[in-house]
Amino acid sequence: MSSTPPYQSRLIPYQKEIFHMWYNERATLKTIQAFLNKKSVSISLSALSRFIKRRQLRNDPHAAPKTKSKRSSHSNGDQALSKLKKLMQQNPSK
Residue of 46, 36, 28 whose CA lies nearest to 12: 36
Q: Which class for 46: exposed (0-12), middle (13-18), buried (19 or more C-beta within 10 A)?
A: exposed
Q: What is the pLDDT of residues 6-29, one digit of tens each?
A: 778 899 999 999 999 998 999 999
Q: What is the pLDDT of residues 51-69, one digit of tens each?
A: 999 887 666 555 556 666 5
Task: State how far the Cα of 74 lies from the Cα of 70, in Å rounded to an integer.
Answer: 6
Query: Alpha helix locations (H) across 5-69?
Result: 15-19, 29-38, 45-55
What phi and psi values does residue 18 have, to the nearest 5 degrees? Answer: -60, -50
